[in-house]
Amino acid sequence: MLEIEGLSKHYPGTAAAALDNVSLQLEGGEIIALIGPSGAGKSTLIRCINRLVEPTAGRIVLAGEELTALRARELRRARRRIGMVFQEFALVERLSVMENLLSGRLGYVGLWRSVLRRFPQSDITRAFELLERVGLEGYADRRADTLSGGQRQRVGIARALMQAPELLLVDEPTASLDPRTARQIMRLIHELCTEHKLPAIINLHDVPLAMRFCPRIIGLRGGRIVFDGPVKQLDTTVLTQIYGDEDWASMAGEQADDDAQDDVASGAAVVDRGRAP
């Protein structure tokens, strides 16, 4: 589905590489969490995939198409197939929820139709369906800046799904949200990906959240992959390898406690044993 080979990124003027020879493969419908300390290159990695950041070296192939070889016009066409969800939602604040959703279709309509907001009825119907699906029925005409953080992220997710993507890139979807909303948003992303058999790469700071919703974990440190495996192999040794020394047992224990309180209904996994949801 997605193949990354020897991907490297050097930002000009910095000594260390942001990404150093990263290779990974993603099968259809697979949900990967990308974890690692700040500055490990997580954001750079997912931005290289849709080339919001231009990689220095390496190959990225999505469903047989080599993204790294595309020129401007073909790249725009390829970006339509890749949905993206952002940390701080990145909505256009002064536009309505509907306009934000429809902006996910920009790659498919011409300039004038999009300027005049004359989108095909099928797009509008899909937008209403997605709004209902993410729990924002009746919000179509609200301006994005009147929504709460959780609601904005739901709009961000719906916008990405408007593209009918083949791959979903998610950059720290929960970093600007409170713990409860964070969990709801992660659950929503997980459900939607499962429903649509949509493969996803999710950058996450929050290890317990990653362990709960993502069957496969990739650990990044200093621009290199230091762990790639199923969530049950993610133990304290591996965490130390990714993040450095820390008393993981006690941290995970605390996390498990408030998990149990917060989410009895969904049969919360006990995180320190690393069980998938």
Partner 1 sequence: MAVFTRDGELTWRRRDRREALQRWMASFAFVTLLLLCWQVIAERTLWDFVLDAPAQGADLVGRMIPPDLPYLQRLWRPLWDTFNMATLGTLIAIVFATPLAFLAARNTTPRFPLIRPIALLIIVASRSINSLIWALLLVLILGPGVLAGVIAIALRSIGFIGKLLYEAIEEIDTRSVEAITATGASPGQLRAYAVVPQIMPAFAGISVYRWDINIREATVLGLVGAGGLGLELMASVNTLAWGRVSTLFLLILATVLISEWVSARLRAAVT
User: Least distance in Å: CB of 86 to partner 1?
Assistant: 6
Q: Which of 58, 107, 149, 215 binds partner 1 (CB under 8 A)?
A: 107
Distance CA 123, CA 197 (A): 21
**Mask of contacts with partner 1, 168-207, x by CB under 8 A?**
-x--------------------------------------
**Location of structure tokens 């993603």:** 26
Complete edge-to-edge strand list for the sheet that includes strand 65-66: 19-26, 2-9, 57-62, 65-66
Tell the smallest beta-carbon distance from residue 105 to partner 1 (Å): 8
CB of 88 to partner 1, least distance (A): 6
List, as one string, the DSSP characters of 23-68.
Answer: EEEE-TT-EEEEE--TTSSHHHHHHHHTTSS--SEEEEEETTEEGG
CB 206 within 8 A of CB 178: no
Show contacts with partner 1 in window 136-175 (CB under 8 A). Answer: 156, 159, 163, 169
Per-residue exposure over 234-248, b if at least 16 CB sit within 10 Å of its own CB, e if not: beeebbeebbeeeeb
* Rounded-to-integer distance, Cα 225 and Cα 22, Å: 6
119 in contact with partner 1 (CB under 8 A) = no
Is residue 265 part of the contact set for partner 1 (CB under 8 A)?
no
Size of the site for partner 1 (CB under 8 A): 31
CB closer to partner 1, 159 vs 216: 159
CA distance 210 to 58: 27
User: Interacting stretch for partner 1, rule CB under 8 A, among 25-33, 111-119, 146-154, 215-223?
Assistant: 111-119
Question: By C-beta, is 111 or 249 nearer to partner 1?
Answer: 111
**Smallest distance, partner 1 to C-beta of residue 166, A:** 12
Q: Which residue, 174 or 255, is less far from partner 1 as judged by CB?
A: 174
DSSP assignments along 204-227, one per residue: -S-HHHHHHH-SEEEEEETTEEEE
Residue 111: alpha-carbon gap to chain centroid? 28
Q: How far is the CB of 51 from partner 1 (least distance, A)?
A: 9
Regarding 79 and contact with partner 1 (CB under 8 A), the answer is: yes
- Cα first-last separation, the chain: 24
Instruction: Determine if 56 is a binding residue for partner 1 (CB under 8 A).
Output: no
Question: Which amino acid, residue 40?
Answer: A
Distance CA 105, CA 90 (A): 16
| Residue choice 20, 56, 58, 80 for contact with partner 1 (CB under 8 A) | 80
Q: Is 223 in the site for partner 1 (CB under 8 A)?
A: no
273 binds partner 1 (CB under 8 A): no
Residues that bind partner 1 (CB under 8 A): 50, 52, 76-80, 82, 84, 86, 88-95, 99, 103-107, 111, 114-115, 156, 159, 163, 169
